[in-house]
Chains A and B, each alone.
Chain A
Amino acid sequence: MSSWTDKRPMSPHVSIWKWHMTMASSILHRITGVGNYIGIFIVVAWLFATAAGPDYYEPLAGLIGTIWGQLILFGFTLSISYHLLNGIRHLVMDAGKALNPKFGSFLSGLVLVLAVALAVGVWLLSGIVPGIDPLNMTGSAPMGAAQ
């Protein structure tokens, strides 16, 4: 829809605004929301493969176990972490709190840092990263989806 005929001045569009923290946060919330939308396909596929039997489960687990699969899974984890934490920020804002610009910017930055820390933390602590397993969640079993 590029046929804009209204002669009145338009409000500044995305490309004209100077980037600021709360704006980045708002856009990231939407991007991670769409990311989670895509990511849940993996979760449902995994559930379905589990129900369908090993013939379906093993190939899927093998696919997720590849470096690309793991990268996508980590991206999904990051997306969930951000959307979850920033979602809590949004609920706080809906309650009429944390709305002043300075604190809003601070909180947006904090959420971003915490989201990265949470995603990395989940992967490190749960022993998903090969060779790193501080809580010994894998026991003696080697990392890898293929049993």
Chain B
Amino acid sequence: MSKQQASMRTPLGKVRGLGSAKHGAGHFITQRVSAVALIFLVPWFLISLIGAVRGGYDGALAWVSDPINAVLILLTVGAALYHMRLGMQVVIEDYIARHSTKAVLLILNTFICVVLFAAAAYAVLKIAIA
């Protein structure tokens, strides 16, 4: 009983791995796991970024090229984009009733987040590995 309570899935849901939305509790859980990561990453990012911006272009370059910073920047941007894709998905599902519009916006949401991650990853890797 206590074991069942510890999980957010029902026994049948566990077997099927899906719920009425056909995604199970995956959305709910990953939204929160990324949130927990961001609690640690975002404060570091803000404080660190402010210091980097102050140094102008050279300061920015030096900040991103530091190996630890580079990894943490990618983690922060990656977790943020992942988290915001899930969040925006819910907003779209809540407010857009028309199926065709909803589908287009959901795809657009995914594209935006993937493109932003590709751009950020390219930028960080180019600076850090150069």
**B56/A147 in contact, CB under 8 A:** yes
The digit string for A45-79, where 1 denotes a CB below 8 A from any CB of B, is 01110111010011001000000000000000100
B54 at interface by CB-CB < 8 Å: yes
**A41/B60 in contact, CB under 8 A:** no
A46 to B26, CA, bound (A): 32
Q: In the complex, which residues of chain A have a beta carbon less than 8 angstroms from the beta carbon of B123?
A: 44, 47-48, 50-52
B119's partner among A37, A44, A84, A127 (CB-CB below 8 A) is A44
A117 at interface by CB-CB < 8 Å: no
B38 at interface by CB-CB < 8 Å: yes
**B32/A137 in contact, CB under 8 A:** no
Q: In the complex, which residues of chain B have a beta carbon less than 8 angstroms from the beta carbon of A44?
A: 77, 116, 119-120, 123
A122 at interface by CB-CB < 8 Å: yes
B127's partner among A33, A34, A50, A90 (CB-CB below 8 A) is A50
**A91/B36 in contact, CB under 8 A:** yes
A44 to B80, CA, bound (A): 11
- For chain B, give the interface size range: 35 or more
- Most-contacted residue by chain A among B64, B91, B116 (CB, 10 A): B116
A80 at interface by CB-CB < 8 Å: yes
> Main secondary structure on chain B at its contact with chain A?
helix
A44 to B76, CA, bound (A): 11
Q: In the complex, which residues of chain B have a beta carbon less than 8 angstroms from the beta carbon of A30?
A: 91
B88's partner among A34, A128, A141 (CB-CB below 8 A) is A34
**B124/A1 in contact, CB under 8 A:** no
Q: In the complex, which residues of chain A have a beta carbon less than 8 angstroms from the beta carbon of B58?
A: 147
Identify the closest chain A residue to B52 (Cβ).
Answer: A50
**B57/A128 in contact, CB under 8 A:** no
B97's partner among A1, A40, A51, A145 (CB-CB below 8 A) is A1
24 contacts between A and B (CB under 8 A): A34-B88, A37-B88, A40-B77, A40-B81, A40-B116, A43-B120, A44-B77, A44-B120, A47-B73, A47-B124, A50-B57, A50-B123, A51-B64, A51-B127, A61-B53, A80-B42, A84-B38, A91-B36, A128-B50, A137-B51, A137-B54, A138-B54, A145-B53, A146-B56
Q: A84-B39, A91-B35 are known; give 5 further A-B pairs, CB within 8 A.
A: A1-B98, A30-B91, A80-B46, A122-B46, A137-B50
